[in-house]
Chains A and B, each alone.
Chain A
Amino acid sequence: MAVANSVVAPAAPLPPVLAALKDAVLVALVAMALTGPIVGLQTVDAGGRLTVDMRFTEVALGIVIVFFGRFGLALGERGLALPAYGVGALLMVAGFLLPWPAELLKVLAVAAGIALVVRGIAGQLKERRTQAVLRAPDEEDAKAERLRRLVTRGLGFAMLAAAVLLPMMPFANSYIMDTAIRVMTYMMLAWGLNIVVGLAGLLDLGYVAFYAVGAYTYSILSKDFGFGFWGALPIAGALAASFGILLGFPVLRLRGDYLAIVTLGFGEIIRIVLLNWTSFSGGPNGIGSIPRLTFFGYPFARRAPEGEVTFHQLFGLDFSPLHRAVFFFYLILVLALVVNFFTIRIRRLPVGRAWEALREDEIACRALGINPTNTKLTAFAIGAMFAGFAGSFFATTQSFVSPESFTFLESAMILAIVVLGGMGSQLGVALAAILIIGLTEAFRGLAEYRMLVFGLGMVMIMVWRPRGLLAHRDPTVLLHGRKSVLKKGAAA
């Protein structure tokens, strides 16, 4: 700690508390200059002219919170764990007890306090773990590694069982089922994007464009050409994949960063085209009354149309609107599991290994004779195809599509799920999908802050835990198996 201290404070080392105080004052001053004009002066419409409303009290209180938050953090960094906990507790108590003028400030104070305490505990755990790692890895570590894999696998199966049993639970009403369908749709999209981002290491910021291609393909095929869901599904997937190839071909030859901005632009272009090409896509009004999926030809309806048998008549049940939701849920579950199974298997095939190798070192891959452009293109096209499938499913469940559903924010949300889950980890992505969609449902009242928290969350994950909740960047296949690698480390 003494070494770290001298690095932080140059020239004449201040006592740690004073140094932390100085740090906090500086940060508070920067925060004041940043938020003062943008938050403190709100432009409001006063009878056709703009004028400004001053909100300096709120800004001042916010800066006080920032000051104490940074003070606590700086204390923690200088090894004063106990005072850091104290500041954290103080912030939490103040957050709960004081009469704040805005709800946001209260949340900010409590969150800052909790963050301080959590960070303090995490820091101490990390220190202990570093000490543990300093000794050479041995049999016990191999055992722990096996246990970790066992737990991961068990958790995966437990989640699958929970998903299968969910519709049979007594509490499964239509709200729960709709949310579950939403979670599964995002999970499928995130698993698809995981192939592109997590395995191949290509940052795709316009993933939702392929989702839109799938949704509009199904809508138009089923409405104007009388295709059924199963007939339209492969076409939607193929079309989305061809868009992926078309877009990826010029860009994937170049540095990875170009792909990010081209896909970002492409996502926006698709939306602009859908908005303006009214004769094709219905413009901003979208396409309505898309035929809904039937149970292999038996519709879910209270009364059957002329000469048809409904689902509940077929099975001799009473009519319930839940039947449709349950069927949709199982359908998306199967679709998502197909993506998952596909990913797990393809990771072990040569092309999947080539993706992971390219992600780690492109130059080495080229030296080994892998064609980087084609390899990346397969990942990009396969990811796009799964988005196309999910889009078709979306269109048939909603029976309405419009450009509103395919904004950049959707792409950002899917990316956030992949990033939070840990790029490349199937289980992590599944957990992150449940967490993020669950949280957005739970905080519906604070919906306007949702994207704010997302943005902040993406930065914080990158800074603190760049490998996501469940880190998984180990190669899927190793030359001599996993255990021998550990042994080699012990011998060294």
Chain B
Amino acid sequence: MEYLVQQVINGVTLGSVYALIAIGYTMVYGIIGMINFAHGEVYMIGAFTSLIGIIVMGLLGVTWVPLALFMVLLASMAITALYGWSVERVAYRPLRGSFRLAPLISAIGVSIFLQNYVQISQGARPKPIPPVIRGGFELMTSSSGFTVTLSYLQLFIIVLTIVLMVGFTYLITQTSLGRAQRACEQDRTMASLIGIDVDRTISMTFVMGAALAAVAGMMVTLYYGVIDFYIGFLAGIKAFTAAVLGGIGSLPGAVLGGLLIGLIEALWSAYFSVEYKDVAAFTILVLVLLFRPSGLLGRPEIEKV
């Protein structure tokens, strides 16, 4: 029982990370109907900028952890968002109206490029950092002596995710940018006719997705304490699975899917096998596509001519 509770806590933490990445996939899909393969790599860039930021903070002598983390978070979000913007500008925007496979191939190119760019400039070895936030609450102890802990870091990750979700929901539902995005999602031509700058709205979508991915990257850097240039690949596939599971194009769906994937992965590695934990997410993806292609919260897709 206690073991299960611990796994659920771990799973929700992991799920928060996937949910943040999944939002980037689902938003871009919603607005331009394309799977942004490079999104996993953007998240990896976010992880690296946070890692560098944390080290730089250490060198600069900023020792008060909340301030240091806040500054790293802001810097990492800004730089990663700029990466997201540039990727859209260079690799996707010129291809609007090109044949169907063109943006997908271009996205794969970006993905390969970013991976190797980081590998060359930062080295291929895994990068470890010492834990920044230590300690935690001991929630309960079983008779056999197994203690369930919720570490401060896990709490931080879960709370930060909730805060971001609230802010994000506000942004989408209440601001003019959010209205423009929803309008572009429904009909891009019509949106442009009523004076919405479609190109700018799409750019902002990439920027927002990348900023959220940067937060996920920082969380992973803190949580696992080690990252390498290859982490974007699997995280990207899992977050995409989360987006499909929740119903691609649906924002609450992405969060729900992320949490479910995180839970399934944690429970799978706890009770079945650690080696095949990456296979779990993929199996789910194929099962969802087989039995419920529109996902849990998604609407069935109607293809227009």
List residues of chain A with CB under 8 Å of any chain B CB. Answer: 30, 33-34, 37-39, 41-45, 49-52, 197, 201, 203, 205, 250-251, 253-258, 260-262, 264-266, 268-269, 272-273, 276, 363, 408-409, 412, 415, 419, 423, 448-449, 451-452, 454-459, 462-463, 466
Contacts and interface: CB of A to CB of B under 8 A. Distances in A.
21 contacts: A30-B82, A38-B45, A38-B118, A41-B52, A43-B51, A43-B122, A52-B52, A254-B289, A258-B289, A261-B37, A265-B282, A269-B278, A269-B279, A272-B276, A273-B279, A412-B108, A455-B116, A459-B109, A459-B113, A462-B103, A466-B102
A269 B35 CA distance: 20
A423 B100 CA distance: 13
B70 to A, nearest CB: 17
Contacts of A273: 279
Contacts of B121: 38-39, 42
Contacts of B45: 38
A268 B234 contact: yes
A419 B103 CA distance: 12
Interface string B86-115: 100011001100111111111011111111
A452 B113 CA distance: 5
Contact of A43 (B98, B104, B123, B290): B123
A216 B114 CA distance: 32
Interface string B277-289: 0110010011001
Interface stretch (B125-133, B134-142, B157-165): B125-133
Given A459-B90, A459-B91, A254 B293 contact: yes
A403 to B, nearest CB: 13
A455 B111 contact: yes
B300 to A, nearest CB: 11
Given A34-B79, A419-B105, 7 more contacts: A52-B56, A251-B289, A261-B285, A269-B278, A272-B278, A455-B114, A459-B91
A288 to B, nearest CB: 23
Contacts of A412: 108, 112
A257 B120 CA distance: 30
Interface string B184-212: 00000000000000000000000000000
A462 B102 contact: yes
B289 A250 contact: yes
A273 B283 CA distance: 13
A408 B101 CA distance: 19
Nearest to B237: A265
B49 A458 contact: no
A366 to B, nearest CB: 10
Nearest to B305: A363
B48 interface: yes
- Of listed B98, B104, B105, B276, residue having the most chain A CB within 10 A: B105
A203 B233 contact: no
A434 to B, nearest CB: 21
Listed from nearest, the 3 A-B pairs whose CB atoms lie closest are A458-B109, A455-B113, A455-B112
A37 B109 contact: no
B112 A451 contact: yes
B42 to A, nearest CB: 12
Nearest to A52: B55
A193 to B, nearest CB: 12
A455 B110 contact: yes
B105 A457 contact: no
A454 B101 contact: no
A238 B37 CA distance: 31
Interface in B200-250: 233-234, 237, 240, 244
A34 B37 contact: no
Contacts of B100: 201, 256
B83 interface: yes
B55 A43 contact: yes
